[in-house]
Structure 1
Amino acid sequence: MATSKADLVKLAETDVKSALQPEQYGPVVSSPPFVFVDGTFNTRDLGLVPESPMRANYAFRSGAVSNLTDNGKAVLTGKLGVKRIFDLRSPEERSRMPDPVIDGVENTWIQSSSPDSKPDLDTFIAGEGEAGYENMYLEVIEIYSESWKAILEHVRDRPDDPFLVHCTAGRDRTGIFSGLLLALAGASEDAIVTDWQLTRIGTEPVRAMLLEFAKKGTNASSDDQPGFYNLVSLRKSCWQAFVKGVEKKYGGFENFVMDKLGFSQDDLAKIKKNLTSA
């Protein structure tokens, strides 16, 4: 049974300094919009996010899939019907934790145009970290543009082939693309932010590992280093700052898709249709 939107948002807005207990997050991550796939975490169906206009059982997102069990593979290919996995990680991340080879599933990875920069924690100190998030996410949307293009081509050309997008945490790179998909499908800002913030719950089973990953990725000496707390939080104001940055730089997500990625109006119409109706 799906948890109500109000309860999901309340749990997702729990201060990141406070660990969620298994009895709090366990029932949530095993019911819609989350999907339990053994060996993954933060896995969910974008069509089941509260108030999502996207159709269910088509676009999935998750954290790393390198630890998929045989049962998890069976769920992925059977229950979910996933035909293609898009990996948004760096070469170094992939070498440490390679994606599994699964019969009937196509693995796609396209190297970003440049390596991810280390986030500058100083830019996350002011307010809730809005400036840091805007800078970080605008870089990500730019350097992963070839990956975004490939996934949108899949949506345009293969509406009958469910797919899954992941990075390491299924948080930032995957979260940006999920927000882009939801926006193209016509989702409200509230629905998009809800999906983005649900990662606070979905990553809790691997909390310690991801905090360590974030420290290494920023050279933070401790959890208390100024800016780090804002970086590892997921607040609505930070997503809004990113969206404003996209509007200022590209004229919004749709213009980004057409002007930066090269899709036509007809392509965009087909993508929207395939995201919202079978």
Structure 2
Amino acid sequence: MTVTNIRNDKGENLVGILNKKDTNQLILIVHGEQGHKDCLYQVALAEKLPFSTFRFDLHGNGDSEGKPGYSHIAQDTEDIHAIAQHFESLGYEIYAIIGHGRGSLSGLKYATSCDKPLSHYVNIAAPYLDGKPAKKSEIAFKPDFFDWKVYQKGKLVTVKMRQEEVDVYNSWDSSHVIRMPKTTCVLTVHGLNDETVPTYHAASYANAISNHTLKLLPEADHTFTNQHEQLIDTIVSHFEQHTNDAYQKALNMGQHVSVTIPRWIDIPGVKNFRDIGGWPLKDGSGYIRERTVFRCGHLVDITEQGIQTLRRLNVIAAFDFRSDPEIERQGVMPDITGLTRYPSAMFTQADYSPAALATRWKGYFEGATGFPKVYAVILEKGAPQYRKIFIHLIENHSISSTKSIIVHCTAGKDRTGLFGMLLLGLCGVDDEIIANEYALSNLGYWEPNHELEKKAEMLNVTVDDMRMVMSAPYLAMKETIRQVKEKYGSIEGYVRDECKLTQEQVKKVKELMIVPIRFEERQLFRPKI
């Protein structure tokens, strides 16, 4: 290991440690707030990575020169540019950047502004800032300033910062990541117990970045206390996978490789909106056609901007699984020229009697083992509505068409999730992928605590009970699939027996929804999921 000093554009010395391995592929490791080059897991991570690494102190932090600033995201980005240019002049390839927290804000900006795209970017627990000044700072202010802790010269010191610094920080806009090069594989790692940066920030990055993988560590907080080994293993495994995958080898040989387009799409006013396409078939013979079927929560609150996005996606139909009591309470979507809403309620007014509701909700309260009981009822009552969607796809879409549809209920997770299971399973997607796709609703749909408290009080249950109801447990979908296969022999068996699709109609759905991959291209076409 070699201590290295590099001057930034202000003439300040940035101090870091070069850990040279038997490769000129270099990974830059950027620390977060109150951090430094040797903090948390960084030393152990540098040792375990098979690449050369350079971990360093940003200006004004650790052993580096300069004055720290709460709002210095842009200046920190310039530090990274200076370091990258230094090592590139020595013959290194800046292969990846690993950034934590606010340090990752600067790293991400570098990744979208550097001349040569990075191969990888690892985003650890970074906030997603929307460029809007905070209504009320969470920091305790004194009359003209607040105390901010910075690690300098081996200890935490107090630096006085003014409100203007906070305003500049909050004005940072993370939406630039939508311009992340599609050849840059981005991994976001976030702890589910992170109280500093809530998990929905990670979902925002997943929504915005096209070539993105999201890993959530259940027991981890913002600094990954007692979880450093798990974090390091997650990062190292990411690099190993991409090094070993056939598609990465094809990239190294200069061959063309398809890049996955964004699954999550931001539709203002709509929660949980995502593309059901893109998933590979279990046998490797193809993948699900993208930009044909979307799933989401209700469209009642969609904004004009959201409507314009639906027009660009060429959505011609929205199948609304909500029942009359839900519609009476929530309303209906606005009229959109060229888009037809198809009422597709599965439950009648009688199904909303106190006794019927109590039976259904009881299943949800039982958790992952109880959800399948509710889903069995939905599959029984919903078959005619699911059939309607399959027939619409057959009659109104083709492999040369750009038209698309939306399926939705209130949250876009239960009735909608079951249709997703049927469509993906019918086409031959692996059960594991189907269950994980269903569980993505844990990121796409949420309700604020005051709403959960209101519902909990109304139903005489706890808030934790309501959180369970609003969740999408992976195990619940796995068990539902098992039960469907046990009863019907296969998911296709359900579609034939209950949705009354003929063999020819099933064939047409598959022809529409499956993009075939020639045998000789299968190992080069897409990364493994």
TM norm structure 2: 0.46
**Aligned pair partner of 1:131 in 359, 369, 392:** 369
**Aligned pair partner of 1:223 in 452, 463, 467:** 463
- 1:115-171: CA deviation from partner (whole Å, max 9, x where unpaired): 36432437744xxx3431111001011112221011010122122331011111111
Matched with 1:195 is 437
Matched, 1:74 2:308: yes
User: Which amino acid is the alignment partner of residue 167 of structure 1?
Assistant: C
**1:4, distance to aligned residue in structure 2 (A):** 7.0
Greater alpha carbon shift after TM alignment, 68-77 vs 248-257:
248-257
- 1:74-93: CA deviation from partner (whole Å, max 9, x where unpaired): 11012x11011110101111
Matched with 1:28 is 206
Matched, 1:105 2:366: no
Q: Higher strand share goes to which structure?
A: 2
Matched with 2:287 is 53
Taking a change above 3 Å as real, the CA distance of residues 233 and 274 of structure 1, as seen in their structure-2 partners, is same
**1:238, distance to aligned residue in structure 2 (A):** 1.4
- 1:162-194: CA deviation from partner (whole Å, max 9, x where unpaired): 101111111111111111111112111121112
Taking a change above 3 Å as real, the CA distance of residues 142 and 168 of structure 1, as seen in their structure-2 partners, is same
Higher-RCO chain (CA-CA 8 Å, sequence separation at least 6): 1
**1:248, distance to aligned residue in structure 2 (A):** 2.8
Whether the 8 Å contact between 2:371 and 2:476 is mirrored in structure 1 is: yes
Taking a change above 3 Å as real, the CA distance of residues 136 and 34 of structure 1, as seen in their structure-2 partners, is same
Whether the 8 Å contact between 1:110 and 1:147 is mirrored in structure 2 is: yes
**1:234, distance to aligned residue in structure 2 (A):** 2.8
Matched, 1:271 2:475: no
Aligned partner of residue 406 in structure 2, secondary structure: strand
> What count of residue pairs does the alignment treat as equivalent?
267
Matched with 1:180 is 422
Whether the 8 Å contact between 2:277 and 2:291 is mirrored in structure 1 is: yes
**1:101, distance to aligned residue in structure 2 (A):** 0.8
Whether the 8 Å contact between 1:5 and 1:50 is mirrored in structure 2 is: no
- Work out the CA distance in 1 between the residues paired with 2:464 and 2:345: 33
- Work out the CA distance in 1 between the residues paired with 2:186 and 2:377: 31
- Work out the CA distance in 2 between the residues paired with 1:4 and 1:207: 32
Identical-residue share of aligned pairs (%): 25
Greater alpha carbon shift after TM alignment, 180-189 vs 110-119:
110-119
Whether the 8 Å contact between 1:33 and 1:50 is mirrored in structure 2 is: no
Larger radius of gyration: 2
Aligned partner of residue 287 in structure 2, secondary structure: coil
Taking a change above 3 Å as real, the CA distance of residues 247 and 18 of structure 1, as seen in their structure-2 partners, is farther
Structure 1 regions of 5+ residues with no counterpart? none
- Work out the CA distance in 2 between the residues paired with 1:19 and 1:200: 17
User: Which amino acid is the alignment partner of residue 195 of structure 1?
Assistant: E
Taking a change above 3 Å as real, the CA distance of residues 20 and 99 of structure 1, as seen in their structure-2 partners, is same
**1:33, distance to aligned residue in structure 2 (A):** 1.2
Whether the 8 Å contact between 1:48 and 1:56 is mirrored in structure 2 is: yes
- Work out the CA distance in 2 between the residues paired with 1:169 and 1:26: 18
- Work out the CA distance in 1 between the residues paired with 2:510 and 2:315: 20
User: Which amino acid is the alignment partner of residue 269 of structure 1?
Assistant: K
Aligned partner of residue 379 in structure 2, secondary structure: helix
User: Which amino acid is the alignment partner of residue 375 of structure 2?
Assistant: Y
**Aligned pair partner of 2:480 in 231, 238, 242:** 242
**1:235, distance to aligned residue in structure 2 (A):** 2.7
- 1:27-73: CA deviation from partner (whole Å, max 9, x where unpaired): 22334210111211110011145779211110100111111111111
- 1:221-265: CA deviation from partner (whole Å, max 9, x where unpaired): 22245xx55444433221111112212333332111111111111
Matched with 1:89 is 322
Whether the 8 Å contact between 2:298 and 2:412 is mirrored in structure 1 is: yes
Greater alpha carbon shift after TM alignment, 147-156 vs 30-39:
30-39
